[in-house]
Amino acid sequence: MVFHAVNSFDTHCHLDLYPDPRAVVREAERTQTYVVAVTNTPSVFQATQQLIGNSRFVRPALGLHPELAVERRGELPLFQQLLPQTRYVGEVGLDFVSNDKQVRITQQRVFSQILEWSHLAGDKILTIHSRRAEKEVVEAIGANFRGAAILHWYSGSLAVVEQALANGLYFSINPAMTRSKRFPDLLRLIPIDRLLTETDGPFVQIGQRVALPPDVAQVSVILASTWQITPEEMTKVLFANLRRLLVTPS
């Protein structure tokens, strides 16, 4: 990435789920917003590559969403085949909203396999779903993962944050998170050098419309206010964090 050409970055955006994905790509280009376009299945990754084309600012991430792990676990061989084509992996992880034991076991097996392949590759950047499974996700990643891991839209126990930080994980913040009553408590626990920005568009709303990648600028302003620094200083910090992520040694 050429950092001087980028104004902001969105580390978790579901490009393919917008009504007009190509318009979102054009907006990212116009505003010079670097976007990690996560996918929910390996087959969608291939379609997303075509949507992105030769964009300078949008990169596809290879995913297998935990809520689809049971239905799409047969795509794991395709996942392995496609993994060398990207540094970004997501959306992956665990979702323990369901109490079904077999569903949870399948999710854990799929996530474990993805972690193993990513660890062996050594240069992958993962954006991870952890709803009601934060402890299990952090433990699965461990402290010796060869690559980098981002906890996307973290909504879990504050007690797990300390272990996540000890394991080297980052946290990506979206506009919806900043409106949560728990957000100030979460932010107090996360060092400024572990913060990144995301939208999780189109699932997040900005007023009456869906969030677009350039809306991460709003998050940056809120973070700056929290840390009592200027938005420009906060942007520099966020880019330093992203740069560190991209050069994570294998």
Binding site, annotated residues: 12, 14, 91, 129, 152, 200
| Nearest CA among 5, 50, 46 for reference residue 28 | 5
| Nearest CA among 94, 33, 93, 76 for reference residue 58 | 33
Rounded distance, CA 97 to CA 82, Å? 29
Alpha carbon 124 to its chain centroid, in Å, reads 12
Going through 73-229 in order, the beta strands assigned E by DSSP cover: 88-93, 124-129, 147-152, 170-173, 195-197, 205-206, 209-210
Residue keyed to tokens 């902001």: 8
Rounded distance, CA 218 to CA 161, Å? 24
Ramachandran assignment for 147, one of left (phi > 0), alpha (psi -120 to 50 degrees), beta (any other): left
Rounded distance, CA 135 to CA 16, Å? 30
Q: Binding site for a divalent metal cation: what residues are annotated? A: 12, 14, 91, 129, 152, 200
Going through 94-136 in order, the beta strands assigned E by DSSP cover: 124-129
Rounded distance, CA 124 to CA 191, Å? 22
Which DSSP string corresponds to 7-62?
SEEEEEE-GGGSSSHHHHHHHHHHHTEEEEE--SSHHHHHHHHHHHTT-SSEEE-B
Tokens representing residue 109 in the block: 């097996």
